[in-house]
């Protein structure tokens, strides 16, 4: 395989990006959405809250929420704290205005990343908006957020998709969007349909009729018909890999994709100044021949209308993945072209990061991607560009500087990463933490690794850090052998070195068949992390604090194959059960592998879990990749300190929790697609503020 620099000219569809001299930008659409809300939503809401004791609170939170929703965070951290406090206070009142409740949810979710904080407002809005006298658009967005919430906590949607269809039909016909705001309707419809799954043939027909019967312009109707037939085509095909698609599925795809292309191309002819139709054609091409020159042609039409139209960039990248006939080289070549624009006032250069992230998630090794000779210089130029850009929005600036720090670190420039950390005052904002977790890194790993790699603890430790991150195991062992612990300057440096030493020595020690301590040290620098507040709370003790989020995994670099055991103790600091937002689980994972695709939320593993229902009895469970893929369960009683033991011997899995034993004779019943992986722990929907402590953790190769 040739390098990207030599291959790029040969790859189809990778010419330089042409930046239009004029045209729309995303900020223009955001301003249009705000004017739409001020005309279509606010007047009705103000009538409803007039004279209510919470009216002033509702107005302030609603305006903040709308701006936050349409334009993203734009306040300093102190101002954001005040906005969060105001939203929380509003939720505590008797406010029964659905728009205000929805905006309280928006504020609390976007600024705290806590679903439970925002859900109280969302749940109020959801119950109120069951009344069809409210605006169709408002009712659609409320149920759309509810579906988002259920997806985020890995829960079923309870038939909400079909309710969503009825509300979309209402929004198309009740004047929710006047003529001047038709672009808002088109974008909103595209968003709704991306979130509307599990439909039926009748639902698609109902939507098609509503579009046809609406009084909107032909451009709107063609855009909406085109998007509808794209979803209809994939509904008929199914989401399976090509080899598993039925003949009827292929017929459905072949019936609806050409119709989608016809409508979308007609829409683009009617309004070439709008990007939506051209951007959507990308999925039509992807589902057909996948011609990369043709993909690029329609991408160029979309960004000629709006240079920073995000859906065009994400659509082109997804259509360029290996799954759709592309390659890692193609993705990275396109990403480099996006970075070359240097338009840091837009999100276009950021698409370079997302191209690299897509490849990194496929490979499971972000550092290898960002530090590769073909990508490294672009990555560092991009990181410098983000750090140098005078971004006036404090929230956006914090995100950009944090992400620049991550990229500089992954690309191997510790001096630049140190500059980035200083620019953020060592604070990693939640949006950057999420990107780190998507790339399997714990937040504390970044700071520790950068400090060590930049020589903060001396030359020997700097050398060890670079050898370990580059997987030079023999070199790292030689450095460790020559290192004298008493010469290290701090306890943190000694913990860091001890963790790496323990991890490197563990495989050989496991060959003895004796129990070995699991390498738990304050930095967690060798661990893989998909999210959650994990920390070392005492020597050898690991604590997870809940965040109401699905699949918060912490995995250790301990390879598990057919014979392995882990044992230890677990204790729970619970909050009242009435405050649990949903059922939740926690326990050890074996054969752990990260999710390979950005759209996949569940890392692969076999898990021994304690399942805590909001109603009913606590259970011990054995599950597979999906929490719903249960192979066994039994009621248990929690103690102040509980013991657990998981043993994998050949194909047999045995999970013991206190005195309860579950046995799965053959793990092939869990339908795993792999036979080896790592050892770790998984928290699923653990409620906010619940604390789980595990200690006395030992691992051995099963005899």
Cα–Cα dist 248/232, whole Å: 13
- The residues near 370 (Cβ < 8 Å, ≥ 6 apart) are 356, 360, 376, 379, 407, 410, 411
Burial class, 325, CB count within 10 angstroms (exposed 0-12 / middle 13-18 / buried 19+): middle
Strands 533-538 and 541-545: antiparallel
Q: Decide if 607 contacts 630 (C-beta within 8 A).
A: no
Biggest alpha carbon distance in the chain? Answer: 80
Q: Phi/psi at 603 (nearest 5 deg)?
A: -60, 145
Measured over the CA atoms of residue 531, residue 571, residue 580 and residue 100, the dihedral's sign is: negative
Percent of the chain at pLDDT above 90? 74
For 571-587, the pLDDT digits (tens) are: 999 999 988 878 899 99
For 50-65, the pLDDT digits (tens) are: 999 999 999 999 999 9
**Chain-centre distance of CA 490, in angstroms?**
36
Measured over the CA atoms of residue 236, residue 240, residue 243 and residue 244, the dihedral's sign is: negative
260, 145, 75: which is closest to 137 by C-alpha? Answer: 145
* 671 backbone φψ class: left, alpha, beta (φ>0; ψ -120 to 50): left
pTM of the model as a whole: 0.92
Q: Which domains does the chain have, with CATH numbers?
A: 443-517 (no CATH), 528-700 (2.60.120.200)
Fill in the DSSP letter of residue 562: S
Measured over the CA atoms of residue 612, residue 616, residue 618 and residue 619, the dihedral's sign is: negative
For 91-100, the pLDDT digits (tens) are: 999 999 999 9
Q: Label residue 597 by pLDDT band (50, 70, 90).
A: low
Fill in the DSSP letter of residue 198: S
- pLDDT the model gives residue 389: 96
588, 582, 534, 608: which is closest to 687 by C-alpha? Answer: 582
Cα–Cα dist 610/604, whole Å: 18
For 3-26, the pLDDT digits (tens) are: 333 344 468 899 999 999 988 999
- The residues near 554 (Cβ < 8 Å, ≥ 6 apart) are 442, 524, 527, 528, 529, 530, 532, 534, 542, 544, 680, 681
3-state secondary structure 303-343: HHHECCCHHHHHHHHHHCCHHHCCCHHHHHHHHHHHHHCCC
- pLDDT the model gives residue 3: 36
Give 624-672 as a DSSP string. -SSTT-EEEEEE----SSEEEEEEEETTEEEEEETTEEEEES-GGGG--
Q: What kind and span of H or E run contains 568?
A: strand 563-573
Query: How far apart, in Å, do the first and last CA atoms of the chain sit?
Result: 43
- pLDDT the model gives residue 599: 47
- The residues near 258 (Cβ < 8 Å, ≥ 6 apart) are none
Cα–Cα dist 210/20, whole Å: 36
Q: Decide if 492 contacts 522 (C-beta within 8 A).
A: yes
- pLDDT the model gives residue 589: 93
For 339-364, the pLDDT digits (tens) are: 999 999 999 999 999 999 999 988 88
Q: Decide if 434 contacts 444 (C-beta within 8 A).
A: no
Instruction: Calculate the alpha carbon distances from 83 to 57, 399, 535, 674 in Å.
Output: 11, 19, 29, 47
Give 233-285 as a DSSP string. HHHHH-SS-GGG--HHHHHHHHHHHHHHHHHHHHHHHH-TT-SHHHHHHHHHH
Can you tell me the mean pLDDT for 622-648? 90
Q: Decide if 295 contacts 316 (C-beta within 8 A).
A: yes
Supply the angle between the helices 182-194 and 160-173 in degrees, to the nearest 10: 170
Percent of the chain at pLDDT above 70? 95
Question: Over the Cα atoms of the chain, what is R_g?
Answer: 26
For 219-255, the pLDDT digits (tens) are: 999 999 999 999 999 998 887 777 778 888 889 889 9
- pLDDT the model gives residue 410: 97
Half-sphere exposure of 218 (CA within 13 A, CB side): 8
Burial class, 671, CB count within 10 angstroms (exposed 0-12 / middle 13-18 / buried 19+): exposed
- pLDDT the model gives residue 8: 41
Q: What percent of the residues of the chain are helix, what percent strand, and what percent coil, each to the nearest 5?
A: 55, 15, 30
Beta bridge mates, 642: 570
Q: Label residue 627 by pLDDT band (50, 70, 90).
A: low
Cα–Cα dist 331/629, whole Å: 34
Fill in the DSSP letter of residue 542: E
Cα–Cα dist 526/529, whole Å: 10
Cα–Cα dist 100/311, whole Å: 29
Q: Which of 152-156, 193-197, 515-519 has the lowest mean pLDDT?
A: 152-156
391, 672, 699, 405: which is closest to 555 by C-alpha? Answer: 699
- pLDDT the model gives residue 565: 93
Cα–Cα dist 161/233, whole Å: 17
Highest mean pLDDT among 43-52, 110-119, 679-688: 43-52
Q: Label residue 113 by pLDDT band (50, 70, 90).
A: confident
Burial class, 563, CB count within 10 angstroms (exposed 0-12 / middle 13-18 / buried 19+): middle
- pLDDT the model gives residue 4: 36
């Amino acid at each position: 395989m040739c390098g990207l620099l030599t291959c790029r000219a040969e790859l189809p569809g990778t010419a330089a990006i042409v930046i239009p001299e004029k045209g729309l930008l995303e900020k223009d659409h955001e301003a249009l959405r705000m004017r739409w809300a001020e005309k279509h939503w606010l007047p009705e809401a103000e009538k409803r809250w007039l004279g209510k004791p919470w009216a002033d609170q509702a107005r302030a939170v609603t305006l903040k929420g709308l701006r936050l929703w349409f334009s993203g965070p734009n306040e300093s951290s102190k101002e954001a704290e005040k906005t969060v406090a105001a939203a929380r206070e509003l939720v505590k009142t008797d406010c029964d205005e659905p728009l205000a409740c929805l905006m309280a949810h928006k504020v609390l979710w976007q600024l705290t990343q806590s679903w439970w904080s925002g859900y109280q407002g969302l749940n109020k809005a959801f119950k109120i908006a069951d009344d069809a006298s409210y605006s169709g658009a408002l009712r659609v967005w409320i149920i759309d957020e509810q579906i988002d919430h259920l997806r985020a906590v890995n829960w079923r949607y309870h038939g909400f998709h079909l309710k969503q269809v009825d509300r979309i039909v209402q929004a198309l016909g009740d004047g929710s969007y006047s003529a001047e705001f038709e672009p808002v309707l088109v974008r909103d419809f595209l968003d709704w349909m991306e979130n509307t799954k599990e439909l039926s043939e009748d639902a698609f027909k109902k939507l098609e009729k509503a579009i046809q019967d609406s009084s909107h312009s032909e451009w709107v109707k063609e855009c909406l018909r085109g998007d509808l037939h794209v979803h209809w085509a994939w509904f008929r095909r199914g989401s399976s890999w090509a080899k598993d698609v039925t003949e009827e599925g292929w017929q459905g795809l072949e019936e609806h994709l050409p119709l989608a292309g016809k409508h979308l191309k007609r829409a683009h002819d009617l309004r070439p100044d709008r990007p939506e139709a051209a951007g959507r054609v990308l999925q039509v091409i992807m589902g057909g021949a996948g011609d990369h020159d043709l993909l690029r042609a329609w991408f160029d039409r979309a960004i000629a209308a709006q240079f920073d139209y995000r859906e065009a960039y994400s659509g082109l990248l997804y259509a360029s993945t290996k799954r759709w006939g592309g390659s890692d080289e193609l993705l990275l070549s396109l990403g480099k072209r996006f970075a070359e624009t240097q338009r840091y006032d837009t999100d276009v250069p950021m698409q370079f990061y997302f191209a690299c992230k897509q490849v990194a998630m496929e490979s499971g090794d972000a550092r290898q991607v960002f530090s590769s000779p073909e990508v490294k210089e672009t990555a560092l130029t991009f990181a410098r560009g983000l750090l140098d850009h005078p971004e006036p929005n404090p929230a956006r600036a914090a995100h950009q500087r944090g992400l620049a720090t991550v990229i500089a670190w992954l690309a191997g420039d510790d001096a630049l990463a140190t500059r980035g950390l200083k620019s953020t005052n060592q604070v990693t904002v939640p949006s950057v933490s999420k990107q780190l977790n998507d790339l399997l890194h714990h937040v504390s790993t970044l700071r520790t690794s950068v400090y060590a790699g930049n020589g903060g603890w001396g030359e020997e430790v700097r050398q060890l850090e670079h050898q370990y991150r580059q997987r030079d195991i023999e070199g790292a062992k030689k450095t460790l052998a020559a290192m004298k612990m008493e010469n290290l300057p701090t306890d943190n440096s000694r913990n860091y070195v001890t963790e790496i030493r323990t991890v490197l020595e563990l495989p050989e020690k496991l060959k003895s068949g004796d129990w070995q301590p699991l390498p738990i040290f304050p930095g967690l620098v060798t661990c893989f992390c998909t999210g959650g507040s994990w920390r070392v709370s005492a020597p050898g003790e690991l604590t997870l604090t809940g965040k109401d989020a699905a699949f918060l995994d912490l995995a250790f670099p301990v390879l598990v194959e057919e014979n392995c055991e882990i044992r230890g103790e677990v204790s729970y600091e619970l909050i009242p059960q009435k405050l649990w937002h949903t059922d939740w689980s926690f326990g050890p994972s074996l054969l752990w592998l990260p999710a390979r695709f950005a759209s996949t939320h569940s890392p692969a593993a076999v898990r021994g879990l304690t399942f805590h229902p909001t109603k009913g009895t606590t259970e011990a469970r054995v599950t597979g990749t999906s929490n719903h893929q249960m192979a066994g369960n039994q009621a248990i009683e929690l103690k102040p300190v509980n013991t657990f033991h998981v043993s994998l011997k050949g194909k047999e899995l045995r999970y013991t929790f206190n005195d309860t034993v579950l046995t799965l004779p053959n793990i092939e019943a869990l339908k795993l697609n792999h036979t080896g992986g790592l050892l770790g722990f998984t928290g699923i929907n653990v409620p906010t503020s619940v604390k789980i402590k595990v200690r006395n953790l030992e691992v051995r190769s099963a005899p």
